[in-house]
Structure 1
């Protein structure tokens, strides 16, 4: 049985682990990145803020334990997707699912994350990313 991030610690709406900047916190149903509202940031357009991509979901398709989301903007290349957060979404009844994100260029990333029961197109989405380790090939 998987423990959902939102119930990992009693009394919190959502917990944020090491994948998220230390100043990430809940504010009601919204998420604060420092002192900025994630919902307001997403309304202003897709942007990368350090290790967090702030964007919007433009289309959602669910099938069993998989969720496909087309997102506004461009997923950052050279980064791995680590976790997702859904500002403004109610987490009661949320489940873990494999979420495939696809941006306008066709780039796809998949992450196992908590997904709210109700998720609509236009919903804000935060994507925690981590820079990929550089791989070096050495020939002898």
Structure 2
């Protein structure tokens, strides 16, 4: 996000200032949309915890929290901020997708080749990844359980 906000214009020409203000506008709109997404997800979380709907609907709201937020933000961006060139995810067309690159089979000959890294670094990294994944999984189970 901070990459979009330059510290100052490169030079004082009108074109440079216009590009600078356009970058500031894009950064502001992106931050605003992120804030709206946060508020929407928090409201859905409150609805999930409340007794406003039946249990099945509350479970669906919890499970579809982020996709519903993405639909809302996409709609807001298309309706109100169409003139801004906002950063988006580039998804290739369906006829250009190569499904064979989705899965890379491991090279079993190099499975034990740790190059020049120390074994303690490798084991420490694997423990850190395991702890982080355990926290993420337990948090997900607690939020959606």
TM over 0.5: no
Task: Name the TM tier (shorter chain).
Answer: under 0.3
With the length of structure 1 as denominator, give the TM-score of the two structures: 0.19
More helix by share: 2
Higher relative contact order (CA 8 A, sep 6+): 1
Larger gyration radius, structure 1 or structure 2:
2
